[in-house]
Amino acid sequence: MAMLSSPIQIIASTPIVTRAWSATTLGLSLVYLWIQWSSTIPYPLPYLTLIPGESYVFPWTLLTSALVETSIIEAHGQLIVTLIVVPPCLRYLEKLWGAAETAKFIVFTIVVSNIIAFCFNWIEFTVTRNADLFLFGMEYHGQMALQIGILVAFTQIIPEHQVQVLGIIKCRVKTLPMAYVTFSTVICILGFQCPYIVIQFGFLFSWVWLRFYKKNTIDSLGGGYSYGDRSETFAIVNWFPPFLHKPIGALGNFIYANASRYHLIPTSSTDIEANNFTPGGARAEAERRRQMALKALDQRVANSSSPANGTASSKSTAGQAEPPAENEDGDIGASSSR
């Protein structure tokens, strides 16, 4: 009975977004596999998966394509691997972030990555005029963009945590995203663009979301909030080798300046980490943090000392109102000196 109740307890303790996402992935993937097995059409469900030549009619496939794995264990669509890896990771993130922020992270990472992949295929068709390959010969599906997004999130949260890959290779969490991106780049160069190219897009836009748009509540400062993570350690240049820092930093600063100019980046209610995209802003950020911490500390000290001051003043007032006692000799306080 304990063995039967254990999976039920795990499901019941799983947060709502993770539970719904995992169940929908399992259901739609099984439906796709059954229809694919009984059909002779290469891509039997164009209204669920993303096909560049058809998906403009079905715009919801920008999201639903991630909910469909097209095979059980094959490389292009790994349902078993997805169900083993993604739900526990989302469960961890949802307990840390909450349901709303986790859902926004999933949707943003997948939808924006698919939009870029869709546009990229149309650019390739415009250049080559090969519609059979770039418009109707590729089917984007699966959760590779979300997987790399989860790795980026874990790099932000636990970068120095050490893991074992396949029980053999030991590495730190912060090295995994670029390893996955490198794998995607090599596969794409070898000619397997779909669906591996979404790994690169998922890496970029999950970082953008976590860097600038994810809403964080600050309990220690009276319930304020901030957006993203503007720390120097999470800057985009730190993902790349040192010889690329200068060009990537210049490009990033240019994009950030224009995004700020047109108010595309939200600002925090406490303005803790505003204007800190570049590594040079770390000193200003530290100073702002120090000032806010000192202000919060002063407020806590004032609040904690107010009752004590009030008690002391009341005792002093009472002592002044009551006249000092006289001893038998008529001396005030003489008994204490004897």
Residue 150 has pLDDT above 90, yes or no: yes
Domain architecture of the chain: domains with CATH = 10-213 (1.20.1540.10), 216-304 (no CATH)
Model confidence at 293, pLDDT cuts 50, 70, 90, reads: low
Q: What is the DSSP string of 272-328?
A: SSTT--SGGGHHHHHHHHHHHHHHHHHHHHHHHHHHHHHHHHHHHHHHHHSPPPB-T
For residues 134 and 55, the answer to whether their CB atoms sit within 8 Å is no
Tokens of 73: 């264990």
Angle, to 10 degrees, between the axis of helix 197-208 and the axis of helix 99-128?
130
Question: Is the pLDDT score of 322 beyond 50?
Answer: no
Question: 294 or 106: whose pLDDT is higher?
Answer: 106
Average pLDDT in the 215-230 region?
Answer: 72
The whole-number pLDDT of residue 330 equals 43
pLDDT digits (tens, 9 = 90+) for 71-99: 877 655 688 889 999 999 999 999 999 99
Indicate left, alpha or beta for 222 from its phi (over 0: left) and psi (-120 to 50: alpha). Answer: left
| Residue 88 Cα to chain centre, angstroms | 15
Q: Return the pLDDT at 338.
A: 38
HSE-up of residue 314 (Cα within 13 Å, Cβ side): 6
Characterize the bridge pairing of strands 169-172 and 215-218: unpaired
pLDDT score recorded for residue 164: 78
Using alpha carbons, list the distances in angstroms from residue 5 to 12, 87, 317.
10, 19, 67
- Between 44 and 218, residue with greater pLDDT: 44
Q: In this predicted model, what pLDDT tens digit does every residue of 159-179 receive, in sequence order? A: 888 887 766 778 899 999 999
- In percent, the amount of the chain with pLDDT more than 90 equals 46
Q: What is the mean pLDDT of the chain?
A: 81
Tokens read off for 185? 């780049």
Question: What CA–CA distance (Å, rounded) separates 1 from 6?
Answer: 9
**Does 22 have pLDDT greater than 50?**
yes
C-beta of residue 47 within 8 angstroms of C-beta of residue 108: no
Cis preceding linkage at 195, omega within 30? yes
What gap in Å lies between CA 72 and CA 76, rounded to an integer? 10
What are phi and psi for residue 215, nearest 5 degrees?
A: -85, 130
Query: Per the structure block, which two tokens stand in for 247?
Result: 């060009």
Instruction: Answer for the pair 62, 55: CB distance below 8 angstroms, yes or no.
Output: yes
Q: How far apart are CA 191 and CA 258, in angstroms?
A: 35
Confidence (pLDDT) at 288: 57
